[in-house]
Amino acid sequence: MEKEEKRGLKINKIKFIRNIIISLIALIIVAVIFMVAPNYVMEEDDGKIHLIINNTNLTSSDRLSNDVLIENGVIYLSEQDISRFFDSYLYYENKYNQYITTSNTKVATIEVGGNKMEVNGISTPISGTIIERDGENGEKIVYLPFSEMKDVYNVEIQNIEETNIILIDSLDREQITAEATKDFSVKLKTKFLSRTIDKVKKGEQVVVISKTNDGWAKIRTAKGKIGYVKIDKLQNEKKVRENMEQEQQIENEKISMVFDYYSESRVAPNRNGTTITGVNVVSPSFFVLKELGKGEIIDKVGTSGQNYIKWAKENGYKVWAMFANDSMIETTSEILNDYKVRKQTIENIVDLAVQYGIDGINLDFENIYKEDKDMFTRFVIELYPRLKDLGMSLTVDVTAPDGGDNWSLCYDRDALADNCDYLVYMGYDQNNASSSKAGPVAGYNWVRTNVNKFLGQEAVDSSKLILAIPFYARIWTENEAGELIDSDIVNMKDVDNVIKGRAEKQWDEVTRQNYVEYTQGRNTYKMWIEDAASVKEKLLLANEKNLAGVAFWEKDRESEDVWNVINEVIFNNK
C-alpha cells in the first residue's frame, strides 16, 4: 500500500512539472505571436519627432545631435545637425551676428533675431527666425528655421503629423515609386515572422529604396515608415526623379589650360587667325583687385578683350578669366575679413563675368597672410555657388605645400578643393630670384614630390587637381668662388639663342631636364632647361596620377614644338 502511494505521488509530481512546462511553452508562443505575428502592429511612440533624411531615420539611429523642433508651423534643425547633414561649412559671422550657409548654387544669410533671409543677394521675408534653446546640460543650442531654407538646400519637406515623422528628400537624388498590387503588411526585417510596422492598401504608392537578392524590397510608405515587402507585391515602378550629378563644362577629357597674361598697361593680345594646338581652356588676365578698394575690381577687358573672347569661343576654347590680387597682401586681407566687403567683391566679379559672357573665373590670389587662411577659404566658399548658379567654373591657384607662411601655408588646399571645380598647383618656382643657390625652376623630382603631397597629406582628390607647368627657366651666374651673383628668366623659345655655341645640353635624369653649364670670362653660367622634353615628363606625371589636367604659364613664352607634345600626351592626338 505504501508503495502504491509513493508511486502515485511520483506520477502526480511528473504531471505537475509537465503542466508547468506546457504552460511556459504556451506563454512563450503567445508572446511570440503578439510580438512577431504578421498582423500585429507595434507602434513606435517615444514622444520624439522622427527625422528621416533621404530614407534614413536619423532619430532612431541616434545620429541627430539634437531634437527637431516645430514652432508655429516652422521646422527647426540645430546648427550642429544642419552642419552635419547639409552644410559642413555653415558659418557664424560674429561682426554682423548672422549665419551664412551655402549649397551648390546658393549663398544664404540669416541675421540672428531677424525675420529675413538673403539668398544670392536677394532679401525675402521668412516665417521663422534663429532661436536658442537650453540643452540637457544647460548649454545653449542654436536652431535655424530649416523649412524656410528648403530652396537653399534644394530639398522637399513633409511633416506627417499622424506618425510624428518629418521627411526630407534631396531633389537632386534619384527617387523610384511603385504601386501595391494588393493589401500587404510592411515588415521591419526581411522575414515573414518579423513584426509589422505599417500596412499598405492595394493601389497605394510607396517609395522604393532598394532591393535584396532574395526577393525583398525596402520601401517607404505614405506614413513615412521604412520597412520591407516582397517584390512581387509591387508593380508599375516609375523613376520620378533622376540623380543630378554636378556637371563640368569639359566632360570626358583632360583640362589643358594656358594662361594668357598681360599687364595693366597693355591690352589683350590679338589672336585672330591663330589657334593653339592641345588646349581647350584659355585664361586671360582680365581682372585685378584695386589696391585698398574694398572689393573694387579693375576691368582690363576693353575692346581687345572682347575680341579675344570672341576669338576663343569661335575656336572652341573655354574662357576662364583670371581674377588676381597682384600679391597685394593688405588689400586681400581687407576683403577677406569683412563679410560685406567679401560680398561686394563677389557681386562685382559676378557682374563682370555675366557682362562679358565668359565661362569661368581663375582665382589667382597669392601672398596672403597665414592668419587669413580660413577667411580665404570662406571667400571661395561664398564665391563658388554664385558662379555655379550661372553655369560658370571656378579654378583656384595655389602654391606647393610646406613653403613660407604667406606663400604656402596660407592655403587650406583640402577645403579649397571642396569648394571649386579645380585646384591649380602652380608647379613653379622651385628656385627663384631670391634663392641662395642655382637650381631648376620646376625639376621633375620636386614637382612629383609636391603632387604626391597634394594627393596625400593635403587630401586633394586627383580629379580636382590641375598641374601648372612653366614655359621658362632661369640662367644662373656664379663667380669664381662659386657664389651666386645673379639669375635671369629665359623663356623657353629663347633658350637656344642664349646657349648657342656655348654649351652642349646634357640630360639630367633626376630633374628630367636638359642641363647646360659654361664659363664666360670669370663667371660660370648654369641652366636647367624647360623644353618640350621636360614638359613631356610632367605631362606623363599628370597622366600617371590621373590628374584633372594641366596648365601652362604662359602663352608666347613657349617654343612651337611643345604644343604637339601636349596634344599627343594629353589628348592622345598625333
For the chain, the residue count is: 574
Angstrom distances, CA of residue 468 to CA of 375, 475, 550? 25, 21, 6
pLDDT at 182: 96
Report the C-alpha gap between 476 and 520 in whole angstroms.
12
pLDDT at 38: 44
Q: Which of 16-20, 134-138, 172-176, 211-215 has the lowest mean pLDDT?
A: 16-20
Peptide bond into 421 cis (omega under 30): no
pLDDT at 36: 47
Asked if pLDDT for residue 151 goes beyond 50, the answer is: yes
Give the whole-number percent of the chain exceeding pLDDT 70.
Answer: 92
pLDDT-derived band at 16 (thresholds 50, 70, 90) equals low
Q: What is the pTM of this model?
A: 0.90
Residues 509-520 have a mean pLDDT of: 97
pLDDT at 191: 87
pLDDT-derived band at 14 (thresholds 50, 70, 90) equals low
Kindly write down the DSSP assignment for every residue of 362-377, as one continuous string. Answer: EEE--S--GGGHHHHH
Residues 142-161 have a mean pLDDT of: 97
Tens of pLDDT along 57-80? 998 878 999 999 999 999 999 999
Name which residue leads in pLDDT, 556 or 45.
556
Asked if pLDDT for residue 12 goes beyond 70, the answer is: no
Peptide bond into 554 cis (omega under 30): yes
CA geometry: angle 225, 231, 237, nearest 5 deg: 85
Asked if pLDDT for residue 6 goes beyond 60, the answer is: no
Asked if pLDDT for residue 532 goes beyond 70, the answer is: yes
Residues 373-378 have a mean pLDDT of: 98
Report the C-alpha gap between 513 and 532 in whole angstroms.
10
Give the whole-number percent of the chain exceeding pLDDT 90.
Answer: 86
Asked if pLDDT for residue 37 goes beyond 70, the answer is: no
pLDDT at 106: 98
Considering the chain, what is the average pLDDT of its residues?
Answer: 93
Residues 512-541 have a mean pLDDT of: 97
Q: Please, what are the domains in the chain? A: 50-169 (3.30.457.10), 174-241 (2.30.30.40), 255-471+530-571 (3.20.20.80)
Report the C-alpha gap between 387 and 109 in whole angstroms.
17
pLDDT at 28: 60
Asked if pLDDT for residue 42 goes beyond 80, the answer is: no
Report the C-alpha gap between 353 and 359 in whole angstroms.
8
Asked if pLDDT for residue 45 goes beyond 60, the answer is: no
Residues whose CB is less than 8 angstroms from the CB of residue 506 and which lie 6 or more positions away in sequence, other chains included: 514, 515, 516
pLDDT at 41: 43
**Residue 473 and residue 556 in contact, taking contact as beta carbons nearer than 8 Å:** no
Asked if pLDDT for residue 49 goes beyond 50, the answer is: yes
Residues 90-97 have a mean pLDDT of: 97
Tens of pLDDT along 190-225? 987 899 999 999 999 999 999 999 999 999 999 999
Name which residue leads in pLDDT, 99 or 39.
99
Q: Is 15 exposed, middle or buried (0-12, 13-18, 19+ CB in 10 A)?
A: exposed
* 537 HSE (CA, 13 A, CB side): 21
Residues 81-91 have a mean pLDDT of: 98
Tens of pLDDT along 273-331? 999 999 999 999 999 999 999 999 999 999 999 999 999 999 999 999 999 999 999 99
Edge-first strand order for the sheet with 131-134 is 69-71, 74-78, 140-145, 131-134
Name which residue leads in pLDDT, 42 or 167.
167
pLDDT-derived band at 411 (thresholds 50, 70, 90) equals very high
Asked if pLDDT for residue 39 goes beyond 50, the answer is: no
Q: Which of 49-53, 59-63, 427-431 has the lowest mean pLDDT?
A: 59-63
pLDDT at 313: 97
pLDDT at 43: 47
Asked if pLDDT for residue 418 goes beyond 70, the answer is: yes
Tens of pLDDT along 534-558? 999 999 999 999 999 999 999 999 9
